Amino acid sequence: LAKTTQPISMDSYEGQEVNITCSHNNIATNDYITWYQQFPSQGPRFIIQGYKTKVTNEVASLFIPADRKSSTLSLPRVSLSDTAVYYCLVGERYSSASKIIFGSGTRLSIRP
């Protein structure tokens, strides 16, 4: 299983762009990279998933370099409601039974 490393915490201000980088040096060829968001007292919620290059949806962008040993979640113009814990996961595709392991995540605090 590929282990991920993220910053423990980050602070930013409303309206700023926030980039959270995740390191996954031993990512396997078949692994997707998935990011989840968790608000206090709630279960994690899927944000975005990628394999290589860049993926963008209505919530965030995910940048993955060619070697795929890291990935960066980009949140444009954050608001107070983006205060949450963000988890980066790598794992095998569904075609193989696999354990889906969460790391410690990055605690993002947005200030007015």
Partner 1 sequence: NAGVTQTPKFQVLKTGQSMTLQCAQDMNHEYMSWYRQDPGMGLRLIHYSVGAGITDQGEVPNGYNVSRSTTEDFPLRLLSAAPSQTSVYFCASRSPGGRLGEETQYFGPGTRLLVL
- Please choose, out of 15-23, 69-77, 97-105, the segment that lies near partner 1 by the rule CB under 8 A: 97-105
Tell me: does residue 66 bind partner 1 (CB under 8 A). no
Helix (H) or strand (E) holding 32: strand 32-38
CB of 27 to partner 1, least distance (A): 15
CB of 107 to partner 1, least distance (A): 9
**CB-wise, 97 or 112, nearer to partner 1?**
97
**CB-wise, 40 or 112, nearer to partner 1?**
40
| Closest to 76 (Cα-Cα) out of 30, 110, 32 | 110
Near partner 1 by CB under 8 A: residue from 101, 108, 109, 112? 101
Sheet holding 9-13, edge to edge: 9-13, 106-111, 84-91, 32-38, 45-50
Q: Please classify residue 75 by burial: count the beta carbons closer than 10 Å to its beta carbon, then call 0-12 exposed, 13-18 middle and 19+ buried.
A: buried
